Amino acid sequence: MKIASYNVNGIRAAINKGFIDWLKATNPDVICLQEIKALEEQLDLDLFREAGYHHNYWFSAQKKGYSGVAVLCKTEPDHIEVGTGIESMDFEGRNLRVDYSDVSIMSMYLPSGTNDARLAHKFEYMDLIYDYLNALRNDKPNLVVCGDYNICHEPIDIHNPKMKGVSGYLPEEREWLGKFIDSGFIDSFRYLHPEKQEFSWWSYRANARANNKGWRLDYAMVSEPLQEKIKRSVILTEAVHSDHCPILLELDL
């Protein structure tokens, strides 16, 4: 099974930059999208169906043009779970899960901490999602949580590890991500590529992408029972429809 994840920074903008052609060429079985910034009724769903994704699910933020996640599937899932049931997490459309018989896949968009209020919200979300996913694994032990975590875990995951006091690389955020992994998840990219430095997000400022001054914010986290099934995990840096690039996970199910 090929699972892609992509923070598209606006699905309509990404479509205008050639996203559909990229999707057809990459051809994942399931793709998790984050930061869709659109309502389902604002989209031409035939574009996705013509690309082979007849089963697509959308969870938008209450605020228009903001946040939101989606999952596009070639094969119909057994079950779709929209949101978490926790209001403070769900009003911004940050979690959507599809369940198959042998794997459950979540698209997750963890908040960024752009100011003090948003950082407080981010920490609250981190605590809530940690507990939610640990409970969920009792029912769904084969779990993949794809998405934009808005955190660099280790110095190798950021172009300038001396950066201090910036959300996304705060000690508390990095410690939480380590705790999340230790609770029973595998960072599939780092598991297969322990020494490789690649990034998945670049600022639009100061020619950061051309100079590869990036951050690795996007992860395909795989629950431990799936460890032996991890076949491939890569960052697709050539895709340029967003300030992020997509990631791709292959599981041998």
The reported pLDDT for the residue numbered 243 is: 98
**Amino acid symbol at 37:** K
Instruction: Report the C-alpha gap between 72 and 55 in whole angstroms.
Output: 6
Instruction: Report the C-alpha gap between 6 and 26 in whole angstroms.
Output: 12
Structure confidence by residue, pLDDT tens digits, 99-136: 999 999 999 999 999 999 999 999 999 999 999 999 99
Average pLDDT estimate for 126-147: 98
For residue 144, list its beta bridge partners.
Answer: 105, 222
**Topology of domain 2-251, per CATH?**
Deoxyribonuclease I; Chain A (3.60.10)
The residues annotated as belonging to the active site are 148
Reported as half-sphere exposure (CB side, CA atoms, 13 A), residue 194 has a value of 0
The reported pLDDT for the residue numbered 231 is: 98
Each domain of the chain, given as residue ranges in start order, spans 2-251
Cβ proximity of 12 and 42 under 8 Å: yes
The reported pLDDT for the residue numbered 142 is: 98
Q: Would you tell me the crossing angle of helices 171-182 and 116-139 to the nearest 10 degrees?
A: 0
- State percent of the chain over pLDDT 90: 100
